[in-house]
Amino acid sequence: MIGAIDVALGDHELIKVRLRQPEDKRATAAKLAQAVGAALCGLVGHTVILYRPDRKEPRIEIPTRGQ
């Protein structure tokens, strides 16, 4: 599963991953993000939102505070 998530992040930068009733979804989401080197952007229900910019040409621009 980690390999498929890594490939999807390489292709899309921002993805959603649906978890199937984990015991501790926050801890599982954090471990998943760490395993693929992504930022944990959110957790909505059992859906984890991950972001990892493309190393060569990031397509998604993240606004900073104050903009």
> What is the per-residue pLDDT across 42-62, written as a single tens digit (0 to 9) for each?
999 999 999 999 888 878 777
- Report the alpha-carbon distance of residue 36 to residue 4 in Å, rounded: 10
Nearest 5 degrees, angle CA 64-CA 31-CA 55?
50
Domain boundaries, the chain: 2-51
Q: What is the pLDDT of residue 47?
A: 96
% of residues, the chain, pLDDT over 70: 99
Radius of gyration of the chain (CA): 12
Domain 2-51 is of which CATH architecture? Answer: 2-Layer Sandwich (3.30)
Which run of H or E residues covers position 4? helix 2-12
**3-state SS record for 6-40:** HHHHHHHCEEEEECCCCCCHHHHHHHHHHHHCCEE
Give the pLDDT confidence score for residue 60 in this predicted structure: 78
Q: What is the pTM of this model?
A: 0.85
